[in-house]
Every structure is written in C-alpha cells, then in structure tokens.
Structure 1
Amino acid sequence: MWTVQWLALGSVLGSAIALTPEQLISAPRRGNAIPNPSGKVALFSTSQYSFDTHSSSSWWSLIDIRSGETAQLTNDSNVSELTWLGSSDSGLLYINSTNADIPGGVELWIADANNFANSRYKAASLAAPFSGLKPAVTKSGDIKFLVYAQSYGNGTAYNEELVSTPLSSARIYDSIYARHWDSWLPTTFNAVFSGTLKKKAAKRYALAGPLKNLVSNIKNLESPYPPFGGSSDYDISPNGKWAAFKSKAPELPRANNTASYIYLVPHDGSKEAEAINGPGSPGTPEGVKGDSSSPVFSPDSKHIAYLQMTDISYEADRRTVYVYKIGSDKTISTLAKDWDRSPDTIKWTADGETLVLATEDLGRERLFTLPVDAEDDYKPSNFTDSGSATAFYSLPECPKKGVTGTLLSANEVDPGLKGLSSKDFDEFYYEGNWTDIHAWIIYPTGFDKSKSYPLLYYIHGGPQGSWADSWSTRWNYKVWADQGYVVVAPNPTGSTGFGDKLTDAIQNNWGSYPYDDLVKGWEYVRDTFDFIDTDNGVAAGASYGGFMVNWIQGNPLGRKFKALVSHDGTFVADSKISTDELWFIEHDFNGTFWANRDNYRRWDPSAPEHILQFDTPMLLIHSSKDYRLPVSDGLALFNVLQERGVPSRFLNFPDENHWVVNQENSLVWHQQVLGWINRYSGVGEKNPNAVSLDDTIVPVVDFNP
C-alpha cells in the first residue's frame, strides 16, 4: 500500500462577522501552493483588489509546509507563473510579463528562492505574449519548456501590439462557429510552442534557438482550446523528449460536436504531431469519440494518462481514464470503466503506479486513487471528504494517507473573511420527482433557529452542473445568506456528481423533472424547517438556472416567491439556434432545430400560456458579450414583463460575457441583485445593514411617464 501526503491552501471557515459584497470581492485571492522538490516549502501567488484605489496588486509568497509560516518572495507585479526547476530546491523559472525590447512580448527569467531579488536574471526574450509555462530539466541540465500563444497560419506567434490596424473592420466566415463564448473567431489560433534553455556564459541559461510551433503544421489544430483551455491542455514529458496536447478534431465542424484528440509530438518538432486516440490510431477504444482532456505524462515518460468522454455531441458526458503506452504498440488501457463518476483532473504518483483524480462526488470535489492496472469494475477510493480540492501535489515524505492538517485558512488571516464558518452550512436529501435529491442549506451569521428567515432558493446552471461545498467570488452562498436569508441550494435532475442517471435524465426534460424536483424541494422546506419563511421567499438562478427562473415565472411555483432574479437565461425557445455551441442544444433537445422543433418549444417560457401567468417582480441580468446565451433573450423577456405591467429591471454589462468578473461590475451586480430581493422579501426592513436599491451607484434609465 502506497501512501501520499497532499498539500492544499484551504479556506476552512470559522468566526462571526457578516460577509458583504465588498469584502468578498476585495478579499485576497490565492493561487495553488506549489511544493518544491523536497516538499519543505511551497510557492503561491496572491492578488487583491482595492475599492479605495480601484486597482489590483499581486505578490508571491513562500509557505513552510511543516509550520505554515509564510514569507513574501516578491511583490513585483511583472512576475508570473513562477515554478520550481527540476530537482533544485530553490531554483526558479518564471515569465516576466513585460519585455524591455519588444512591445507586447515577455521574458523568461531564472532566480533562486533564497535570494530572489539579487539572483534573478533574464534568460530569454520572447516576441509575443506567451504564457502557460511548463518546464522539464533533462539529465544534461538543459531546460526544455512549453508555452502557448496565438499563432498565424504560418506558425509565427501573434503579437497584437506589433500589428497595424486594418482599414476595414469586416469579418468574413465560410463556416459556422463565427463566434464563441465572448469573441468573434479571428484568423489566428492558439498554439503550443517548445523551446530550450542551455547554460552558456558564466553558467547562466540562455535561449538555444527560436521557439518551435508544435501545432500549426496540421490544418485546423488548436491548443489550448478556447475559451477555457490553458496549460492543462498540454504537458511535457519529464525527460523533455515529448510534448502532448489536446485539440478539437480537425476534420469535423467545430460547432456540431465535442470530439477532440490527444496529440503526441517530439519536443523539438522533428516529426508531425500524431493523434494517439484519433479515428485512425491503432489503440483508439471502440466507440469512444467525445472530448479528450488533461494529458499528463508518467514519471518515466513512457505513458500518457488522459480523460475522454464517449459521446461525440454531449459536453457533460462521463469522463473515463485512459493510459496510452508510448512506443511501437501504441496501446491504450481503459481504467475503472464502470465507475459512475466523471474525473476532472488527473496526476501520477511519483512511483508511476497510481493515478490521483480530482472528481466531483456528492456535492464535493474529492481526491480519489486509481491503480494503473485497475480493471473495468474497480471503484476508486477517496481520501478527502469535505470541501472541494482545487489543486493537489505529491510530497516525497508520506507519513500517512489522507489530509494531515491545514496550513493556512483564509478566514483566520483575512479580516474581511472572518464571517465564514463551517457551522454556517449543512445538507439534506428529500424525495424528488423520481429519486432522492440533495440540497445544501446555508445560514446567515448569528443564525438563531428560534427565529424566522426568508427563503432564498438557489438554482444552479449547466443544466448539467451542481451546487458544491466550494468557495466562489460569484454566487457566493454566504454573501446572500448574510443579507438575512436562509439559502437552500438543491441539486435536482441534471445535477452532476451523483451518477450518470441523474445527470442524463434532463435531456429533453428541461421543464419537467427538474421543475418537479424544485417544487417538491420548496414544499419540503416549507413543511420541515420552522425557521425558514417561505411566504416571503425569493428565488435566483443563472444560465440554465436563469432559464428555470424564467420557467418558474410562468408556472405555479412562481407565485410562491416575492421576487425573482434571472441571470443570462434563455426565454424564447426558437432563439436557442443563435447560440455558438450547436452540439449542446442538438443533444439536449434530441436533434436539429428544423427536424425536432417541437422539442425546442416544449419547454418554452415565452409561450402565451406561461406569459399570462407572469406576476412576480423580476430582475434580469444579461451581458452583451454572452454569445452562448445572446442578450436578445434578456431584452425579449424584459419587454414582455414591462408590457405586462410586472415590476422588472434590466441590468446589462456591455463588456462582460456569461460571467461578471470585473471587480467594479461585480460590485454593481451584487448591489442590484441583493437590493432587488431585499426590497420584496422584507429583509431590507429588518436588517439596516442590508443592501438597498436606494444605494444604486450607477444611473438608472427610466423614460416611463
């Protein structure tokens, strides 16, 4: 039995001060704690926004893994992507985000953690805004590395600051996928580049030749894949010989499928990249055609572990673990094929005998172990339980299995987060439409079960998604609860982490099973918790949750709430065809828009019979750069509500996408959302510190007579 210790920077909670939107948004945001080779210290980054200066600051720190003591390494805001070098306990490599000689470029620097300021030096000047640094130190001492940037078709890296402005702003497209998420697709694309640093004069490292584009020589390849792809889309082998990367299937239309492959290529680009699990590859598992992700090399550089979905048109299909053997036989092994969970990330242990998986499970992101020789019926075992593991690393010392302690808790060191406590949340199950449904319950600071608090009913997006035991600066349970609510966040049909059956049952059932689950959940809360006031409750949801709030508005459950909040939800059934990812709607509604129109219209919040029921005050938020759910749907619903005489407000951010991430915009978002529900629930009258719409910090446009 092997044992391993894992390091994570936690935000375990405990104290008693209400959490405000300002405190949430301006609290320090810490990155992963990356241990050095000996496992004695770890690096982590911190950034923080100030509403006083309206600017952000950032810095890097070291944390002692045994004592938890921290010390600042540097507050140079140009330092990014710090990483340890090979077996050196203090050697560091990082990207300097500016370039002294090339506008828009970056630099690679070397430093020593024991004397960072005086030891650092520039090792390479890169002519574009490269990021995603991944190094490997070879036996000879060379530093092989991978980075990525936008690329022209000829393989040259794209640098926006060196490009002249075109005379025309026209865009011309000959294929669908003209725009995706929040951007119109350009003629450039993401590409992985390889490079080598060698020791030269004064035993300092310098770039040995130009970077090599590993992606551009095959038409239609792109890695990392936008909009969410990053360095997890590629990996470098520990011996520096190989690179592996993910790309969408180049031979298929991008908007209609999720198919992607893992490519293997020599680090020096001496051979063309090869799809190890493509349709023509000898080891490709039969019938497995969906999205591939998270390629990671084994410690001996002889294998690649990766994740892949089976269905070619289902973005929430279950991921299965595969291991590819590099060499002449090119075999692919399938691990724990029957396991009813979908891993998100994957890493090897140092001995190469076991994989560790971060996997959503029962409302948590747990870590599981999986032997590399596991059979189909093997069930991985978890060694973390509460909370959600967002990053994990193996340490060389392994005193015992599992989490042995907490090194740093945000609520203990950040004054603005002292209102967080593990006592503020709980969970329960109730009988839904066809199975038991899980729900979280979150209490306000100073909660007293002998008192009564309005219900805040939280509805998650996806629709294949879930509410989890996790921390977020968007839709943070505690910020809403601390206005004076008890938050109930159910995981109805369509939710992930509870098995394929619950997730998949929402297909072509957007308004049936999940709506019934929410109705039954509301009834359970009403009949079970004396401290929850459902008569003055409110409901809110985003994305699919926004659709569901729109659906609730036109159905009987809508009359149970004093106010509703819908963020980026669909309204007119036929408008779904204007989305970017057609595979999504064609999967969830069982076919194309023209051949299966009845499916699209079956759950149509804009149908007259639903509009005639509209009566509950409603706040709508829809941003202009949300191309997955275009802003026209939000405007259409606002028009209907206004013409029907239903109290309503429309909040728009022209510079945001499906999410609101700019700190100043986020503050306005919270002020409007919380002010809206507080006005109608009565919380504003009971809690003098609650957010009020009277405190609006941007002008309100109202031309009504």
Structure 2
Amino acid sequence: MSPQKRLNTLGLFVNLVLSAFIFGSVCAYLFVNMRTFQLLAIGSVVLPAVALTPEQLITAPRRSDAVPNPSGEAALFSTGQYSFESHESSTVWDLIDLKSGKISQLTNDSNVAEIVWLGSSDSGLLYINSTNADIPGGVELWVSNTTDFEKSRYKAASLPASFSGLKTAITESGDINFLVYGQSYGNGTAYNKELAMKPFSTARIYDSIYVRHWDTWLTTTFNAVFSGTLEEKKSGQWATSRYISKGSLKNLVSSVKNLESPYPPYGDSSDYDISPDGKWVAFKSKAPELPRANNTASYIYLVPHDGSQNPGAINGPDSPGTPDGVKGDSSGPAFSPDSERLAYLQMTDVAYEADRRTLYVYTIGSKQTISVLAKDWDRSPSAAKWTADGKNLIINTEDRARNRLFILPADADDEFKPRNFTDGGSVASYYNLPNGEILVSGSAIWTSRTIYTATPEKGVTNVIFSANEVDPGLKGISPADVDEFYYEGNWTDIHSWIIYPANFDKSKTYPLLFYIHGGPQGSSADSWSTRWNYKVWADQGYVVVAPNPTGSTGFGDKLTDMITNNWGSYPYDDLVKGWEFVRDNFDFIDTDNGVAAGASYGGFMINWIQGNPLGRKFKALVSHDGTFVADAKISTEELWFIEHDFNGTFWANRDNYRRWDPSAPEHILQMDTPQLIIHSDLDFRLPISEGLSLFNVLQMRGVPSRLLNFPDENHWVTNQENSLVWHQQVLGWINKYSGIGASNPNAVSLDDTIVPVVDYNP
C-alpha cells in the first residue's frame, strides 16, 4: 500500500493483540504496529470504537504547524490544551524527530508565545516572551537552543508593546533582521493597552463609513508591521541594534495614511514577508484611497527593512506593472530564495470576497508588466511558496472539498493546469526540506493533526504523526468513519460528505443530521473543526450528511458564483434533492426523524428551510448566527458583501434583497418545526437583532424554540466554557426531538444544562 493510501487509512489500532478469551469463545486479532495504522481483520470481528464527546473535543490537544529546522531533521510545534478541572489552558513546545516520529518536550514555560529557528543553526532558537520585566504590557525577545532550553536562554531585546508574528532573516553581515506586528497609533508609536491613558468619556464619534468590523468598534489605532535587528556582540550573544536602542521599533506601515497590515479580522503573519537577504519587506494592506466598507481592494506594498523609504504598492492603480482590470484583494506575499522576485495572490473583482485568486510574480525593481501564472486554471489558491531552486511554486488550493498541494512552474503560461501531489485531508502549512521533500501539517475529518512529507514526483512519502493515534479522546476515530458521494442537484452534480457514528452498523438505522455550511461561498471540507465537528454530532447516534451545494468553493468558479442573487433558489433546490437522494438511497439513514443545522449562511438557509416545505421534513432545526429579516442586511459592516451577492445597493435593488426573505409573511405562516436559535452580541457581521427577531416570531407563532446567547462571543464561539454550553444546548436540542435522547443513554440531554434557563411565560 502506498504512503498516500496509508495516510487516507491512518489511525485504527496501536498495539499487538494476540488473543482474547471471553466466556470460552476465542477471538483472534492481529495488528501490525506501523506508523500508519491498518486493521488486519480476522473474520468480521471489530473492536468497539469510543464515541467522541464534546468534552473530549474541547479538551483534546490543539497543535500548531510543525516548522522544520534548517537540516530538516526535526521540527518544532506547540500544543495547547484546556482543562475543565482547572478551567485553564496550558501550552507546551515540542520537538519531533522527522525520521522516527519521536516527540520530546522542549519547554512548558507558559510565557513562551512564539519560537522561530535562529538562522542556519539546527539548535538555535529565537522566541517571544509574552511578558516584559521592565515594561507592563510589553514583550521580550529571548535566544535559546534545543540542547538545553532553560539554562542556555537569555534576553536579547525588550519590546515596548504586545507584539506577535515573528519572522527573521540573516543579513550579509550576519545580523538578524526581524519583523513583528502589533497595534499602532497614527504617529507610528506602538500602542500598549496597559499603558494607554483611559478616557473619561466612552463616546465614539465617526465621520466616515465602516465604524465597526467583525467584533470590534474601530478606533484610531490600527495594525502595523514593525522591523528591528539583532546584532551578534563580541560576547557571542545577540542583542538589540540601533532601531530598538532609539526607543522603538521601526514602523513600516504608518508613514502612508490609511495603510494597515495585517488586515483584520483574519490577518496574521501571512500578510507580510521578509526577503531571505533581510533587505526587503512586503506586506498587504487595504487600498488607502477607497472606502473600506464598499470594496475588497488591497495591494502588496514593498519597503526596505530599515524603513529608509516609504512603502510603495507594486500592484496599485498607479503602479507601472499592474495587470489591466485586476483590482480585487491581494494576499500571501512570498519572496523567492534569491530575494529578487515576489509572488502574491490577487482577485480580479473589486467587490467580491470569494472571487478566484490568481498567482502573480513581480520582479523587484522592474517596471515591466507583472507576470501571471496559470491564469485560466479554475481553482483559487490560498498560499504559495517557492521551491528551494526558485524554479517552481508550491501552492495550497481548495479542491473538491479538500485542501491540496499543487506544483506550478514559475514560468507557467495561461493554459497550464497544475497537478496536485497531496490528496486526502486539508493542508494547513508546508515547508521545504533540504532533501527536496515538503513537510506538511494538516488535518482531516477524522484527525485534528497530521504531519507528513510529500514530493511532487511521489506524492506522500512518509506519515510521521497523526493525532488520533496518540490522543486518548480521538482514538476511536478512523478514516472508515468518513465517506462521500455525488448526486444530481438543480443544475449540476453535487458533492456530499457522509460521516458515520461510532460502532456504525449498516443493518441498523440512524437519524439524519443534515449539515449546511456557511459562506455562502464556502464548503464542507475534509478538515478538523473544534466548533462544528462532524464526528461529535455523528457520535451522538446520527449519520451526518454534509453537502456542498451551489455556492460551494473548490469545485470551480461556476458552482461558486451561481449563488449570487440566488440565495434561496439553486442552493435550496440542491439541498432538497440531496435530502431526497439520502431518503431513497441509504436504508441505514432515518430521514423521518432527521434534524438539520447550519451557521452563518447555513443559519440563513435553516431559517429559509423553516418557512419552506423542506422544513416539514425535519424534527428539529438549529440556526447559528443566520440572517432573518431581509432589510436588516444593511446593518452589516462589510457592505461590499451584500452589494455583490444581491446585485446592487440596498436602495436601488431592494427587490433582490427581499426575494429571499425568511421573514416574509408567506414563509412565517409555514413555520412549524422546533428550532434553536444561537446568536452572540459581538457578531457585527450579522447583528444580534437577527436572532432576536426570529426568536420573537417563533415564540409568538407558538413554535417550540429556544434562544442561546453569548454576550462575549462574535460570529464564532471560541471560549472553551462557552463551547461546552453551546454543545450541550445544540446536541440536547436535536436529541430531544430526533428520539436519540430516548434511545441513547449516553447522548447529551437538555437536562444536563450547566446554566439557568430563563422562562417568564405564565
């Protein structure tokens, strides 16, 4: 069996079991203790799997990406874990041997926030210490090594505020040029929350649109990239250079008004890069000359690391090499190994957040047209990295409900079609190794973390680690729990995942859990989630079906784009046909007692289903942060989103907004299915009034309903204690109406609630 297939069948059993004697019956099992576990079944005997509970999901270790050292012999990653006993999180840093897979702890110091390898050394480390002995609210840079982390470490720099996103490069002189990012005042000074003067008034005053974003009201501070240098002293230790000794790092963003990088809410260190020679910095920023609420336009800026020049956009409207008509969001700047070229991704449309990304390459100092690679390829890369020889780029791309790696020559023409060399699961990060292999960190529906190597020629070459082999709470999960199928949708074939419960028996029947993804331009992907985890739902006793209807990404532009101004037509029809296909083709799925759930656009679709015939096919519904009143969409912050998806402005195209209105009287009069509504106060994209409006309607109509609200959460529920309540309420709700609660004594129940229920009804 090839390593790629072994990756897809990874994670069944660990130990050698020779025999077991139970009441005189002998059952023999033989297992091979391999790195990619595979069951060698004897007859039809299968050991019982352990169901994944919400508590196990939330407290399971959460590992960062594995970052290799320069020789490619070891990699570094962090592991965070939450405890419901102490109600606290802990983090350790580990080293993994990339040949043996052996893991050893580097440090459990909770102050170590980030670590990077120091130059070409296989043992040298540079890390951010999250506290500062001299400056409240500041952080420090420390140097250490892997051979004796605790004893060898020393402080190299004191930074005046809370910084993160550490990146480094070794200069020709041997200095270490580094980048971090943090909040900035307009004058370029770093913002330190602990030292900031608290105003006497809480008033906010705005003279322009975009007053809040995601979960934050905008203020006069903004994100900025800062540069600094560590010099090697005669003592052999590294210490701060002239930039920091003057009193602050060099702010590379603030010299041009309205620039911001990384760009919130998703922005991180992937929004900027430092050239391998340490001379240049590239970063992404929204277009400073355009209103941020009405467009997605952003550019890639280039600036010397020492800040000796102001940053300039390489693909702005006045840049000489900007491709004609390409005006959308830019992302993922990546310097070539020789520091002479810069790859980046950009969308064409200026007001479409889900437009296809295309890969471009800019030659530093050139005034020629920027070159475009594989322009006609019908996929949208999310990241690009150069190979060590600079001849190719490795790109991470969503493709058929997975995130796969593809190889793309740096001189590819418009018609070139890249080929993938990873298959199952979803790639989270990847790094070049000296031997030509790629070190990949990823996940899948059945495991929270995989670490493996791959090459464009051979595909996956070695599976080094998978979380479901070592984490006790995940050991009952395997690739056998997951399958997929296609069915005929409204206008094309539609893909769907199917996830089985623990100890699945095809001869039995299980209620359907129909899951609808968000977006609307999004997908149900082969990846792990700590929020909407398919296996947690399935292991309550359901078969989960997760379709990718019209609007889904990773299946080509047409499927994605056809949802525009069609929120309640093609996607709804696809879901109806998907439900019918399941009813007619899977005898082990009980659609009569099925339930449905969705978040964001999936929440809208649940609300739409509630007021349409498909809603009568389910015993219960769950909508998380979904829109309800069509006219309320104008209260969102990213106005480009609604103007694109409904083909115009709120005043000129009102009929488009109201065409798919779940709150229309004809839909309200059909509502009859018990529904749980979840909506949080800090969701500024879909304000809390949407959830309250739906709850009011259902209550007044006499439909069994419950509102779950979190005042401190945004579009997602991320706090572990809140997440536990979320799972208890969601699973308890569907279990009550599907019959699972009566048939499965281990299922979550609404009686398990750990917070009081408010009920003022007489």
TM-score range, shorter chain: over 0.9
Q: How does 1:183-582 map to 2 (within 5 A)?
A: 183-209=216-242, 210=244, 211-398=249-436, 401-582=458-639
How far the C-alpha of 1:141 sits from its partner, in A, is: 1.3
The percentage of counterpart residues that share the same residue type is 78
Matched, 1:66 2:66: no
Distance across 2 between alignment mates of 1:215 and 1:10: 44
Is the 1:307–1:321 contact (alpha carbons within 8 Å) kept by the matching residues of 2? Answer: yes
Is the 1:452–1:530 contact (alpha carbons within 8 Å) kept by the matching residues of 2? Answer: yes
Counterpart selection for 1:601 from 651, 658, 661: 658
Is the 1:11–1:408 contact (alpha carbons within 8 Å) kept by the matching residues of 2? Answer: no
Distance across 2 between alignment mates of 1:697 and 1:505: 43
Counterpart of 2:578, as a letter, is G
How far the C-alpha of 1:480 sits from its partner, in A, is: 0.1
Matched, 1:673 2:730: yes
How far the C-alpha of 1:378 sits from its partner, in A, is: 0.2
Write out per-residue CA displacement over residues 297-327 of structure 1, whole angstroms, 9 at most, x where no aligned residue: 0000000000000000000000000000002
Counterpart of 1:608, as a letter, is P
Counterpart selection for 1:50 from 83, 91, 104: 83
How far the C-alpha of 1:486 sits from its partner, in A, is: 0.2
Counterpart of 1:249, as a letter, is A
Counterpart of 1:18, as a letter, is A
Q: Counterpart of 2:91 in 1: which secondary structure?
A: strand
Write out per-residue CA displacement over residues 12-34 of structure 1, whole angstroms, 9 at most, x where no aligned residue: 54362100000000000001110
Q: Counterpart of 2:676 in 1: which secondary structure?
A: strand
Q: Counterpart of 2:572 in 1: which secondary structure?
A: helix
Q: Counterpart of 1:526 in 2: which secondary structure?
A: helix
Write out per-residue CA displacement over residues 78-117 of structure 1, whole angstroms, 9 at most, x where no aligned residue: 1121111121111111100000000000000111111211
Are residues 137 and 215 of structure 1, via their aligned partners in 2, closer, same or farther at CA, if it must alter by over 3 Å?
A: same
In structure 2, the residue matched to 1:588 is: 645
Counterpart selection for 2:151 from 106, 118, 121: 118
Is the 1:458–1:541 contact (alpha carbons within 8 Å) kept by the matching residues of 2? Answer: yes
Matched, 1:623 2:680: yes
Counterpart of 2:305, as a letter, is H
In structure 2, the residue matched to 1:153 is: 186
Distance across 2 between alignment mates of 1:208 and 1:152: 23
Write out per-residue CA displacement over residues 319-352 of structure 1, whole angstroms, 9 at most, x where no aligned residue: 0000000024354110000000000111111111
Counterpart of 1:507, as a letter, is T
Distance across 2 between alignment mates of 1:341 and 1:252: 28
How far the C-alpha of 1:129 sits from its partner, in A, is: 0.3
Q: Counterpart of 1:600 in 2: which secondary structure?
A: helix
Counterpart selection for 1:83 from 87, 97, 116: 116
Q: Counterpart of 2:699 in 1: which secondary structure?
A: helix
In structure 2, the residue matched to 1:653 is: 710
Is the 2:8–2:424 contact (alpha carbons within 8 Å) kept by the matching residues of 1? Answer: no
Distance across 2 between alignment mates of 1:76 and 1:12: 32
Q: Counterpart of 1:161 in 2: which secondary structure?
A: coil
Write out per-residue CA displacement over residues 275-301 of structure 1, whole angstroms, 9 at most, x where no aligned residue: 000000011000000000000100000
How far the C-alpha of 1:201 sits from its partner, in A, is: 4.4
The RMSD of aligned alpha carbons is 1.4
Distance across 1 between alignment mates of 2:369 and 2:153: 44
Write out per-residue CA displacement over residues 532-585 of structure 1, whole angstroms, 9 at most, x where no aligned residue: 000000000000000000000000000000000000000000000000100000
Distance across 2 between alignment mates of 1:330 and 1:274: 16
In structure 1, the residue matched to 2:450 is: none
Aligned length, in residue pairs:
700
In structure 2, the residue matched to 1:175 is: 208
Distance across 1 between alignment mates of 2:523 and 2:277: 39
Is the 2:8–2:479 contact (alpha carbons within 8 Å) kept by the matching residues of 1? Answer: no
Distance across 1 between alignment mates of 2:368 and 2:283: 16
Counterpart selection for 2:135 from 102, 106, 123: 102
Q: Counterpart of 1:124 in 2: which secondary structure?
A: strand
Matched, 1:41 2:39: no
Which structure's relative contact order is higher, taking Cα pairs within 8 Å and 6+ residues apart? 1
Are residues 639 and 352 of structure 1, via their aligned partners in 2, closer, same or farther at CA, if it must alter by over 3 Å?
A: same
Is the 2:521–2:560 contact (alpha carbons within 8 Å) kept by the matching residues of 1? Answer: yes
Is the 1:123–1:207 contact (alpha carbons within 8 Å) kept by the matching residues of 2? Answer: yes
Distance across 1 between alignment mates of 2:665 and 2:189: 55
Distance across 2 between alignment mates of 1:110 and 1:369: 36
Distance across 1 between alignment mates of 2:131 and 2:211: 32
Is the 1:494–1:505 contact (alpha carbons within 8 Å) kept by the matching residues of 2? Answer: yes
Distance across 1 between alignment mates of 2:475 and 2:402: 23
Is the 1:62–1:73 contact (alpha carbons within 8 Å) kept by the matching residues of 2? Answer: yes
Distance across 1 between alignment mates of 2:558 and 2:117: 43
Counterpart selection for 2:12 from 14, 18, 21: 14
Distance across 1 between alignment mates of 2:761 and 2:285: 51
In structure 1, the residue matched to 2:746 is: 689
Is the 1:11–1:409 contact (alpha carbons within 8 Å) kept by the matching residues of 2? Answer: no
Is the 2:606–2:621 contact (alpha carbons within 8 Å) kept by the matching residues of 1? Answer: yes
Instruction: Provide the TM-score with structure 1 as the length reference.
Output: 0.98
Is the 2:386–2:393 contact (alpha carbons within 8 Å) kept by the matching residues of 1? Answer: yes
Instruction: Provide the TM-score with structure 2 as the length reference.
Output: 0.91
Counterpart of 1:346, as a letter, is A
Counterpart selection for 2:175 from 142, 161, 170: 142
How far the C-alpha of 1:10 sits from its partner, in A, is: 11
Counterpart of 1:213, as a letter, is N
Distance across 2 between alignment mates of 1:13 and 1:474: 22
Is the 1:10–1:407 contact (alpha carbons within 8 Å) kept by the matching residues of 2? Answer: no
Write out per-residue CA displacement over residues 12-59 of structure 1, whole angstroms, 9 at most, x where no aligned residue: 543621000000000000011100010000001000000011000001
Is the 1:155–1:213 contact (alpha carbons within 8 Å) kept by the matching residues of 2? Answer: yes
Counterpart of 1:188, as a letter, is T
How far the C-alpha of 1:266 sits from its partner, in A, is: 0.4
Distance across 1 between alignment mates of 2:116 and 2:237: 18
